[in-house]
């Protein structure tokens, strides 16, 4: 049975890589590499986080893994769709690019960010709200 292609948002990568309880839950939802779409902006955000929180070596390893997935650079068609989605859903620029990439590729978006709640084709594993 073929899974639908899936964009994994930076928030989901971080939870999964950090091994959090939420990360363990969503790990079962991570697509196979052949179905995993990685926007280049996610590579940027992941690299920044990994170098800051772990190490440059770990960053290199994770980015090397993402390069075995379907890497989608930001091009004009995705950028224009992101601009529309930004206006329509009040998304931050990076979030709009990630969501536009998923929409452009007919893929689902796997995320932990509540900004995407209620949007079509979003699989949300919401983080617990801290009191």
What are the two backbone dihedrals, phi and then psi, of residue 6, each rounded to the nearest 5 degrees? -140, 130
pTM summary value: 0.92
Q: Is the pLDDT of residue 1 over 70?
A: no
Q: Are 114 and 11 in contact (CB under 8 A)?
A: no
Q: In what order do the strands lie in the sheet with 108-111?
A: 70-72, 36-39, 6-8, 108-111, 122-124
pLDDT in tens, 105-119: 999 999 999 999 999
- pLDDT for 130: 54
Q: Which residues contact 55 (CB under 8 A, 6 or more apart)?
A: none
């Amino acid at each position: 049975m073929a899974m639908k292609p899936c964009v994994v948002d930076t928030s989901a990568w971080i939870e999964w890589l950090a091994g959090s309880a939420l990360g363990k839950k969503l790990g079962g939802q991570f697509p196979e590499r052949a179905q995993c779409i990685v926007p280049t902006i996610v590579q940027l955000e992941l690299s920044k986080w990994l170098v800051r929180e772990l190490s440059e070596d770990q960053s290199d390893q994770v980015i090397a893994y993402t390069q075995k997935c379907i890497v989608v650079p930001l091009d004009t068609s995705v950028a224009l769709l992101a601009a529309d989605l930004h206006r329509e859903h009040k998304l931050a620029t990076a979030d709009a690019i990630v969501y536009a990439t998923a929409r452009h590729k007919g893929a689902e978006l796997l995320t932990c960010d509540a900004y995407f709640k209620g949007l079509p084709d979003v699989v949300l594993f919401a983080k617990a709200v801290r009191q």
